[in-house]
Amino acid sequence: MPSGARMPHQGAPMGPPGSPYMGSPAVRPGLAPAGMEPARKRAAPPPGQSQAQSQGQPVPTAPARSRSAKRRKMADKILPQRIRELVPESQAYMDLLAFERKLDQTIMRKRVDIQEALKRPMKQKRKLRLYISNTFNPAKPDAEDSDGSIASWELRVEGKLLDDVRPGPGLSSKQKRKFSSFFKSLVIELDKDLYGPDNHLVEWHRTPTTQETDGFQVKRPGDLSVRCTLLLMLDYQPPQFKLDPRLARLLGLHTQSRSAIVQALWQYVKTNRLQDSHDKEYINGDKYFQQIFDCPRLKFSEIPQRLTALLLPPDPIVINHVISVDPSDQKKTACYDIDVEVEEPLKGQMSSFLLSTANQQEISALDSKVMTDVAGNPEEERRAEFYHQPWSQEAVSRYFYCKIQQRRQELEQSLVVRNT
């Protein structure tokens, strides 16, 4: 080899990258491009059908997708193992994550318990104090109007709940019930001898358009003391019934709701082992059972229908009162306490807790923030993934090779100039 001639480099060839980086590979001359046999081609699925459906795989339902999404969210919160090894303090975050999982399970279990509790009637026993008072207006001979010239009396029936239970923070004055809301009907029966058969009854009955009131007033002319009878029918929710005397003695109940009566009857059947040992659907009645239902054997599903003839309307509350017109009689107000059932104050708070979504939105926003911070910056990861592809190593080696060749040419040119 003559002096001054350059030795050919045995490294990678010069020039731009080949087919792996510049489009499709070149086809060898004389050969047709490779293709798939028509018999091996698979028809594409319709636009509305997914790949899983075309392959016969079961498609997950909406609840399954929801559960898988929750599992993915929980998995996204977990720190990778390499980060936990590099940062020992990250164990505190993992402990908080485990505590959050237990707390979510507890809250979900309590929400289910509250939903089940709201399905059952939640009642609270309270005392309703009933006030019956009357006033007498004597006749005024010098009165100009006709109302003042005739003696009259006025009867007032009012009531309110006793505050024997301190109201909770969720029970405001707006939630206090009106007096008339506790009753289905009110009948005042006056002395028939004084007011005749057509004017001795004063009746009030609840209708769908009834406006609730805090009391009732009855005004009649008269200057004699009147004996009256008040008949008050409570508005039970759910409706209650008076049991037939025989059934009442058997179950130990007087007035109850239909569901409570059926439950007490089933308890009696279990206690006395009246259920048929071979066919559990039938009940073999004892002598008391046969006297009440008039059959020796019946299905338990027939009991609600047979109970209809044994359930009567509940008895009204009967109060006898004397409307006194004697001016010297100071005791013109009578008080009576009635047991009533009212809605549990906590029921409204439980319903509002289930319907509240403000906390859920805040928790979801915080969860999204946690998952975003754990996952990192997606844009930076997208840019970094471009340089982790297989071609990057060869591209770097070619880049350095070009730089070395460029520096080598510059060095050789400088040496040639110096030698000359």
| CA 410, chain centre distance (Å) | 80
| Tokens 């080696």, located at residue | 397
Residue 214 predicted with pLDDT over 60: yes
> CATH fold of 242-312, please?
MDM2 (1.10.245)
For 265-281, what is each residue's pLDDT tens digit?
A: 999 999 999 998 888 88
**249 pLDDT exceeds 80?**
yes
Give the position of tokens 């109302």: 147
Q: How far is the C-alpha of 409 from the C-alpha of 419, rounded, in Å?
A: 15
At 67 the pLDDT is: 54
* Mean pLDDT on 322-333: 78
Question: What is the percent of the chain where pLDDT is above 70?
Answer: 74
CB neighbourhood size of 73 (10 A):
14
pTM of the model as a whole: 0.57
Equal CATH topology for 123-138+151-163+176-236+314-352 and 242-312: no
Q: Note the pLDDT of residue 285.
A: 86
Q: How confident is the model over 63-121, as pLDDT tens digits? A: 555 555 555 565 567 778 887 888 888 888 888 888 988 988 898 888 888 888 777 77
* Annotated domain spans of the chain: 92-121, 123-138+151-163+176-236+314-352, 242-312
Average pLDDT over residues 200-217: 90
Inter-axis angle of helices 62-77 and 358-375, nearest 10: 60
Extended strands (E) in 138-281: 152-161, 183-189, 201-205, 215-221, 226-234, 240-243, 255-257
Residue 26, pLDDT > 50, answer: no
Instruction: Indicate the helix (H) or strand (E) that contains 343.
Output: strand 333-343
Segment 372-386, tens digit of pLDDT: 665 566 777 778 888
pLDDT of residue 324: 86
Report the CATH superfamily, name and number, of domain 123-138+151-163+176-236+314-352. YEATS domain (2.60.40.1970)
Peptide bond into 238 cis (omega under 30): yes
State mean pLDDT over 14-19. Answer: 44
